[in-house]
Chains A and B, each alone.
Chain A
Amino acid sequence: GAGVSQTPSNKVTEKGKYVELRCDPISGHTALYWYRQSLGQGPEFLIYFQGTGAADDSGLPNDRFFAVRPEGSVSTLKIQRTERGDSAVYLCASSPLQRTGELFFGEGSRLTVL
């Protein structure tokens, strides 16, 4: 596919469980972002990767959240000990350029924590 691919599209889990969300960016895009969007809100920045390294992780809300991009392509967002407040749509975006606001977003992974 030509676009950003995110899996799963929907995830329902119980409070306290561990969750992984995957993002496959557009081929050749070196910049990758994770955002979180709650109902009725705009997307909220979580983390930015340039290549394999996290250039800015200041948006991660606490140490239960962690993201990796080991080979500079696919990224995984990991959430430990999930809480009901973690319920949201997690959006991944990529770009061929650094430090740009022109992003290509995926359709998101909707996480529901019961």
Chain B
Amino acid sequence: EDQVTQSPEALRLQEGESSSLNCSYTVSGLRGLFWYRQDPGKGPEFLFTLYSAGEEKEKERLKATLTKKESFLHITAPKPEDSATYLCAVQITSGAGSYQLTFGKGTKLSVIP
């Protein structure tokens, strides 16, 4: 069974205090790993796609990396507006379920001014 586990469940940072969020996964065959941001009362907003181990993607203060077992979302010098829940999701390569995303429970990030 495909599984996605995110840690920590919640993270409080001071503004400017860099850190990383973890997403570990177990799948039969990985087609892609996706990071989303979700603000309260809103739908998830797409951030990154990673396809293969060693791949990295960057956007402003965020950088996503991928290994064969996990992905990290690094947040450099965060600002209060980075506060949100960050969701990780995987898509498998083929067969039943290959159209679906399997999401983790998310990490709720709070950045304190």
Residues of chain A touching chain B, judged by Cβ–Cβ distance below 8 Å, are 4, 33, 35, 40-45, 48, 55-56, 58-59, 91, 93, 99, 101-108
Contacts and interface: CB of A to CB of B under 8 A. Distances in A.
Contacts of B104: 42
B100 A42 contact: no
B98 A99 contact: yes
Nearest to A59: B100
Nearest to A110: B41
Given A4-B43, A101-B89, A108-B43, A45 B32 contact: no
A46 B104 CA distance: 16
Nearest to B43: A105
A64 to B, nearest CB: 20
Contact of A45 (B41, B42, B49, B101): B101
Contact of B49 (A93, A99, A101, A106): A101
Task: State which size class the interface on B falls in.
Answer: 20 to 34
A103 B100 CA distance: 11
Nearest to B4: A42
B45 A105 contact: yes
B103 A44 contact: yes
Contacts of A93: 43
Chain A CB count within 10 A is highest, among B42, B96, B104, for: B42
Contacts of A55: 99
Interface in B42-62: 42-46, 49
Contacts of B100: 45, 48, 56, 58-59
Given A58-B96, A58-B97, A45 B102 contact: yes
A107 B101 contact: no
B99 A56 contact: yes
A45 B90 CA distance: 12
